[in-house]
Structure 1
């Protein structure tokens, strides 16, 4: 009988491959004490209500106390969230995380009066406050952002009601997470060595890279077979989340959920619109790449499960985790000594939770807050894609580290719009590092193939997601029911539009929306695409070796939220309200596609 490869339990994972969360809270008792302290802080904060209009010093006190509460709250949330994610089957930390989510609602309700009361201070009086109380100037940009939302801020009572419903509004995302990460049971499949393995999100990604088409097909069909059994449940959960987004946008007087999400993050809607316009214009490049796959793989029809295997017909470059760490350091060395030293600290001080274990949250992310290390969650597999994931998440974490060690707490975070720029700049640096290093034709083909696949997955695919996300919100706003069949029908049509005439639009892909957690993040996915495109230009600047351009990029990483996102990235040389940076990114894609085609032609 074949030996079955099963995921390790959490307590079976080597300590050095887990993140050290004792650096956040040494014991559970300390964590619980912080929760109780936050409750007291929130209760005391209510006593400041009605003081903002009295004097500049009263406003300063209220601002500082609000930030102190949020700072403590972030820390307990980060801890509870990471503890829950490391093993979602652990009922203790399910309960801990649930309690912290309720705490979010308690704090939100206790502090909800602040913004409406702040908006009662007339602009002229607020300007005078800055002259009277000079320390208030340290928070001026923060207050400017809050007062910019005057027309979208409700009465104190209405704000309190919405704040009290925070945990209710997040219920759909929580339901999705539990169903997707904990309750779904996946079947056993065989890899290309005929080893029986337990299917999971991480294993699925690896099997889709297999050179054995039967392995890819079986993994694809069996994974979506599971999701298909629960498609109506997933549709109901997603539809409820969309209704929440549309409800919140409506009550806050926005024209759409998309506008509410972008404007609340200080991003002009034109950035989203130009992305979709440019991607639509350049879809022929994606169709051309799909056609190249069909030709090189020598297949009659390109199925969706044929889009991830290396086009050269080999499994490609393999990296153990220790090997990947060395390559990451080499690729990122161009960013300077300070940057490299912090990457080493991340590796040496257990900032990273490395391997997949039973119940662990799927995917990868960078977490942490101002008073913690910028932790990273991985589900490591020994392949090139995971090397790219490592440098991607390291980009996030180094962005966080440089920001928190440069800016005060009130500006010690950054817009999610900027986050994907730092991570994908690292990816672009790694691509060029590997192309400079590798001289073998076959290896260069593999790297170019990987870059094009990454571009496909980040720019084209995430924009496809963005269009789908916009559509589901618009359909709900029209009063149309988002049933499983309605969602699947549109998604399948959109998928065919993106990948073109040479794709076999498998029935299974119509269910892809069931397994995408980002659809619960309220118009987040488009930023992967804009970030990757902007990163193409920034990486080009860095690779020029120009010290001024490198310093400008590092200063961007250190800026946090000290200015509006569009202004911060503009200082680094990118105007994201203009489509030129997208056009430049597509030029790089086409250039590398041309090179790959020539290398493959020379092999014929």
Structure 2
């Protein structure tokens, strides 16, 4: 819900209700024993295992008091129009008021969404969250005049004002960035109209969400024990992890046939979402949708192109991995629904939460005492909501706000993957922690281009630590399989999505039709290209493009792939003990949005303007694949020996 096409380090609202969720290997629960134990209520879980929301607000009255204060501050914002032209002191007053209002609105919103997610049956919490969202929209509209008024003041004049006022000089990068985007900033009235249109223009995304989460009726399939079970989006990945190929096939066909039944409706929604993106790109004088998406972060389109090119160079390795899956799983044919079942059957060993925390703290000692102490503080100070409870949102994420420590939502189930999820989300938490404690409000957030780097570095280091500690061939194979699957799902798959987005937007930009048939044909051809000739692409695969919610957030998914490549580079250098690698990471974590995302990653020693980080990640994938082939051959020899 940003001002469309404008995101500056200072005056966008990208950090509002920031939520970062785990990516990479699918963390799906088994379908077996799902109802074996009743899910506890919150009052049945120890206080130490629940996050402490009173760090945000002691009670409802405190939240209401801040809500009223924020509402008043937003009203004052409207009265400050014209301030930027009155001189440095007046501009500083405007900027400081905007910052103070932002921090308050953000705090209100974060509390509201956390309270909702801990119990989604709490009607009062839902109502509060709705009010917080309305307040955020009000905030956005109230400040819609600010960017045009700042661009109306010549940069030379702003520089003179900053030279005379050290407080105002703090805003130099932000003000220069606004002027960099001057050609794409509209008049105050036009900016107001675009801000007013944001709620309406989100209609395609909302309709898709309601259709897929509420209105669709899912078929019943037979599970591994021939019992009737209802298919659902929440259970889908668990079925794809089933060792029974028939269950995987039935789930895949059932899911995608359901979406295919709505192909005209969803195809139209997705086509008009692309048209929406093109409308806002043209409104802001961009030549393409991809330029409109990347320019606000000052990211060259060549970064996007380099990613696609480097991943395409590595497709032979992915084809080899597909063929290995077919061989190891002993399949006559390999289909898309066979891509998620674990190639190496994971042991049933349980990892207690406290043991997982100790392992993570030990593995990440490489990052130094400052990082370790902050992480320990998070584990010990109730930043984390650890276990599944009745009505709690599923999955895992980190949510941050400037004025309070970050929070982590988990649904810990004592699996090795859950341990990796803790490391991942704590990486987000540390990024937020170090940014907000080292940057002023104006730079107290960070770009999504950088967001997944900090979290994935932790996973890279943890995986390497566990591999070195592994005592059996089975453990090593599990860890290699995890790395390969992380790379497949986070780099290869997200880049496939990125190519799909580029192709669909290009058609809209040329005025060509984007029908359901065209959408599905583009997607099918990409799947075949990526996974190679061994993969039998079933007709239901075509409909996968109709169920991906990320396609309603243009040019978002490529950041997963670039972040993973950057994190792999950083993590490998830290593990190898390269001088300066840890210091570089800490500079990156503390920089926030005080520099552009590309420059921020350069602080950590990664240059994403070249294809080399992605190529190095692809090289590691090929090396680990060869290592897996070697270990599997050794295992086969050992089994055949008398």
TM-score above 0.5, yes or no:
yes
Counterpart selection for 2:248 from 216, 220, 231: 216
CA contact (8 A) 1:407 1:560 kept: yes
CA contact (8 A) 1:286 1:499 kept: yes
Query: Is structure 2 residue 396 aligned with structure 1 residue 396?
Result: no
Q: Matched residues in 1 for 2:532 and 2:322: separation?
A: 8
Counterpart selection for 2:276 from 244, 250, 258: 244
The 10-residue stretch of structure 1 (493-502 or 224-233) with the greater mean CA deviation from structure 2: 224-233
Q: Which secondary structure does the structure 1 equivalent of 2:466 belong to? A: helix
Query: Is structure 2 residue 72 aligned with structure 1 residue 40?
Result: yes
Q: Matched residues in 1 for 2:232 and 2:385: separation?
A: 18
Q: Matched residues in 2 for 1:486 and 1:315: separation?
A: 43
Q: Matched residues in 2 for 1:3 and 1:257: separation?
A: 46
Q: In structure 2, do the counterparts of structure 1 residues 13 and 547 end up closer, same or farther at CA, with 3 Å as the change threshold?
A: farther
Q: Matched residues in 1 for 2:539 and 2:414: separation?
A: 30
Counterpart selection for 1:475 from 507, 521, 537: 507
Return the offset for 1:409.
1.4
Root-mean-square deviation (CA, aligned residues, Å) is 2.8
Counterpart selection for 1:442 from 462, 469, 474: 474
Counterpart selection for 1:373 from 405, 417, 423: 405
The 10-residue stretch of structure 1 (414-423 or 350-359) with the greater mean CA deviation from structure 2: 350-359
Q: In structure 2, do the counterparts of structure 1 residues 174 and 390 end up closer, same or farther at CA, with 3 Å as the change threshold?
A: farther
Q: Which secondary structure does the structure 2 equivalent of 1:52 belong to? A: helix
Query: Is structure 2 residue 366 aligned with structure 1 residue 334?
Result: yes
Q: In structure 2, do the counterparts of structure 1 residues 524 and 4 end up closer, same or farther at CA, with 3 Å as the change threshold?
A: closer
Q: Which secondary structure does the structure 1 equivalent of 2:594 belong to? A: coil
Counterpart selection for 2:45 from 10, 14, 18: 14
Q: In structure 2, do the counterparts of structure 1 residues 261 and 144 end up closer, same or farther at CA, with 3 Å as the change threshold?
A: same
CA contact (8 A) 2:456 2:564 kept: yes
Return the offset for 1:434.
1.5
CA deviations on 1:481-531 (whole Å, 9 max, x unpaired) are 544443223222211111111112123332223333322233111111111
Q: Which secondary structure does the structure 2 equivalent of 1:294 belong to? A: helix
What corresponds to 2:142 in structure 1? 110
Return the offset for 1:299.
0.7
Counterpart selection for 2:101 from 61, 69, 74: 69
Return the offset for 1:195.
7.9
TM-score normalized by structure 2? 0.87
Return the offset for 1:253.
0.5
CA deviations on 1:114-147 (whole Å, 9 max, x unpaired) are 1111111112211110122221111111111122
What corresponds to 1:143 in structure 2? 175
What corresponds to 2:4 in structure 1? none
Return the offset for 1:169.
2.8
The 10-residue stretch of structure 1 (546-555 or 259-268) with the greater mean CA deviation from structure 2: 546-555
CA contact (8 A) 1:102 1:167 kept: no
Return the offset for 1:599.
1.2
What corresponds to 1:423 in structure 2? 455
Gapped regions of structure 2 (runs ≥ 5) = 1-31, 637-642
Q: In structure 2, do the counterparts of structure 1 residues 408 and 163 end up closer, same or farther at CA, with 3 Å as the change threshold?
A: same
What corresponds to 2:35 in structure 1? 5
Q: Matched residues in 2 for 1:87 and 1:465: separation?
A: 33
Query: Is structure 2 residue 319 aligned with structure 1 residue 284?
Result: no
Q: Matched residues in 2 for 1:384 and 1:195: separation?
A: 28
Q: Matched residues in 2 for 1:84 and 1:237: separation?
A: 28
What corresponds to 1:554 in structure 2? 586
Pairing 1:34-183 to 2, within 5 Å after superposition: 34-88=66-120, 90-181=122-213
Return the offset for 1:359.
6.1
Q: Matched residues in 1 for 2:616 and 2:404: separation?
A: 37
CA contact (8 A) 1:411 1:562 kept: yes
Return the offset for 1:331.
2.4
CA contact (8 A) 2:311 2:615 kept: no
CA deviations on 1:348-390 (whole Å, 9 max, x unpaired) are 3333344556765554322121123322233444433333222
The 10-residue stretch of structure 1 (562-571 or 91-100) with the greater mean CA deviation from structure 2: 91-100
Q: Which secondary structure does the structure 1 equivalent of 2:593 belong to? A: coil
Return the offset for 1:42.
1.5
CA contact (8 A) 1:3 1:196 kept: no
Q: Which secondary structure does the structure 2 equivalent of 1:165 belong to? A: helix
Q: Matched residues in 2 for 1:360 and 1:169: separation?
A: 30
Q: In structure 2, do the counterparts of structure 1 residues 144 and 531 end up closer, same or farther at CA, with 3 Å as the change threshold?
A: same
Q: Matched residues in 1 for 2:515 and 2:193: separation?
A: 30
Gapped regions of structure 1 (runs ≥ 5) = none
Q: Matched residues in 2 for 1:296 and 1:534: separation?
A: 31
Return the offset for 1:459.
0.7
Higher relative contact order, chain-length normalized (CA < 8 Å, sep 6+): 2
Counterpart selection for 1:299 from 312, 331, 341: 331
Q: Matched residues in 1 for 2:52 and 2:217: separation?
A: 29
Counterpart selection for 1:487 from 508, 519, 544: 519
Q: Matched residues in 2 for 1:69 and 1:251: separation?
A: 28
CA deviations on 1:242-270 (whole Å, 9 max, x unpaired) are 33222111100011121111111221111
Return the offset for 1:541.
1.4
The 10-residue stretch of structure 1 (455-464 or 192-201) with the greater mean CA deviation from structure 2: 192-201
The 10-residue stretch of structure 1 (246-255 or 47-56) with the greater mean CA deviation from structure 2: 47-56
Pairing 1:440-589 to 2, within 5 Å after superposition: 440-546=472-578, 548-589=580-621
Q: Matched residues in 1 for 2:232 and 2:54: separation?
A: 29
Q: In structure 2, do the counterparts of structure 1 residues 337 and 229 end up closer, same or farther at CA, with 3 Å as the change threshold?
A: farther
The 10-residue stretch of structure 1 (274-283 or 350-359) with the greater mean CA deviation from structure 2: 350-359
The 10-residue stretch of structure 1 (483-492 or 498-507) with the greater mean CA deviation from structure 2: 483-492
Return the offset for 1:533.
0.8
The 10-residue stretch of structure 1 (582-591 or 73-82) with the greater mean CA deviation from structure 2: 73-82
